Structure 1
Amino acid sequence: MTEPLRTASRYRNIVYWITTLIVAVESAMGGVWDIARLDIVREVAVDQLGYPAYVLVILGIAKIPGAFVLLAPGLPRLKEWVYAGVLFIYLGAAVSLAVQGEPAAVGPLGFATMTCLSWATRPQRRRVIAPGSWTPGRLRARLGSGRAVTIVFWGATGVVVAVLASGGIADLLGRDATVAGMLELGYPAYFVTMLGAWKIAGAVVIALPGLGRCKEWACAGAFYNFIGASASHFAADSGVEHILWTSVFALCVLVAWALRPASRCLEPAPPPLSATVPGVDTKLIR
């Protein structure tokens, strides 16, 4: 490696560790504060932005393990999901503050920028999925491309896309029943519009072919959305059917994610079976 490349790599590592430490520490401390529901946090999230107090506990439970994943070595796929979740939280906070006309929206946007810098500058061992690791594409290759696997994949994917798209349209149109349901859970009305935009974007990305990395983030966002909805219904003491349906949709996201063909995955296509099983004659497979 030449000296200029060495210098560039050194600066890249410095940017990575500074931004990663800032985001991880803020997530960990913020998670503890959220779970404790400190007055300073409640004043902003509940009194100022209009969110229910229980959402702080949900966010706190998600933030703390996410901080450890960011700092831990390896774990490239988990890191993708954590980066997606952290970015959604910061952008959601920025939009919420902006809607209320608060200049403090600059703060979450700054943390969102640091999240993007951390993601973009991570070293190879924290971004590349090692050959032989468990991956959706490898699982699909193991199960085969039979009709049953294809039906389950497209069935789960169709459910996720349909629920996200229909829910997103209802959110963006401000359907009375949709807004009323969100208000019953304690969320502000503007949250419906923000959620609707994310749902539509996620549905489009999951439905389209290719886009492996975008699909990883869209699946993460869809899973967080449904799990968050299930937790919200539980905290708000909604009917059991609401908790069950949102949990089923979250499970559909995981199934659709796990059974994706290699062309829709983040990692490269797995090698042919003949390349992974010693002693198998490729002529016999052909």
Structure 2
Amino acid sequence: MSAKTINITYWVLTILLALAMAGDGFGGVTKQQTGIDVLHHLGYPIYFMVIVGTAKLLGVIAILQNKYKTVKEWAYAGFSFTLFGAIASRAFAGDAIIEFIPPIIMLVFLFAAYYFWKKFNQLKSTEL
């Protein structure tokens, strides 16, 4: 796979991930009713929406930049914890399998974007 293909794949996956997380983060910060209903169902306090929503918005900024690699690594880790937490919360709440699909899909996008970011950085370092 060429460096150009890896770079394009990375950015497409990253932008899709960023859009999803930004939308979810914005919904949390603005306390959208759908999020409130889900948090009540899962047993979390409403203020948790604002905390996680703010973290998601900051994480979006972190994964879209390429200057601070450690910050980007932490953002990927934070998104991983959030998505695994969403899956676990749904499982503990006894939700149907269909409710697991959105966070699993986002986790696949996250892992793929991370993989291609690492792959592209590896190719860049061998070209130097």
TM interval, short-chain normalised: 0.7 to 0.9
> Residues 54-76 of structure 1, C-alpha deviation per residue, up to 9 Å, x if partnerless?
11011011111110111112211
C-alpha displacement of 1:80: 0.5
TM-score by length of 1: 0.40
1:64 aligns with 2:57: yes
Counterpart amino acid of residue 70 in structure 2: R
TM-score by length of 2: 0.84
Counterpart amino acid of residue 9 in structure 2: V
SS of aligned partner of 1:57: helix
C-alpha displacement of 1:38: 0.6
The answer to whether the 8 A contact 2:9-2:116 is kept is: yes
C-alpha displacement of 1:24: 1.0
Residue 96 (structure 1) aligned to one of 72, 89, 101 = 89
Counterpart amino acid of residue 83 in structure 2: Y
Distance in 2 (alpha carbons) for counterparts of 1:31 and 1:56: 8
C-alpha displacement of 1:95: 1.4
Point out which structure has higher relative CO (alpha carbons under 8 A, 6+ apart): 2
> Residues 195-239 of structure 1, C-alpha deviation per residue, up to 9 Å, x if partnerless?
xxxxxxxxxxxxxxxxxxxxxxxxxxxxxxxxxxxxxxxxxxxxx
Distance in 1 (alpha carbons) for counterparts of 2:91 and 2:16: 23
1:15 aligns with 2:9: yes
Counterpart amino acid of residue 104 in structure 2: L
Moved over 4 A (4+): none
Residue 31 (structure 1) aligned to one of 21, 25, 29 = 25
The answer to whether the 8 A contact 2:65-2:72 is kept is: no
Equivalent position of 1:166 in the other structure: none
Counterpart amino acid of residue 101 in structure 1: D
C-alpha displacement of 1:26: 1.5
Equivalent position of 1:151 in the other structure: none
Residue 116 (structure 1) aligned to one of 111, 115, 118 = 111
SS of aligned partner of 1:121: helix
Distance in 1 (alpha carbons) for counterparts of 2:27 and 2:95: 24
Equivalent position of 1:106 in the other structure: 101
**Identity in percent:** 28
> Residues 25-71 of structure 1, C-alpha deviation per residue, up to 9 Å, x if partnerless?
1121211110111101111122x211111110110111111101111
User: What are the within-5 Å matches in structure 2 for residues 113-192 of structure 1?
Assistant: 113-122=108-117, 123-124=120-121
Count the aligned residue pairs: 120
C-alpha displacement of 1:101: 2.4
Q: Which runs of 5+ in 1 are unaligned?
A: 129-286
Distance in 1 (alpha carbons) for counterparts of 2:67 and 2:49: 29
Q: Which runs of 5+ in 2 are unaligned?
A: none
Root mean square deviation of aligned Cα = 1.9
Q: Over alpha carbons, which structure has the higher Rg?
A: 1
C-alpha displacement of 1:107: 0.7
User: What are the within-5 Å matches in structure 2 for residues 253-264 of structure 1?
Assistant: none
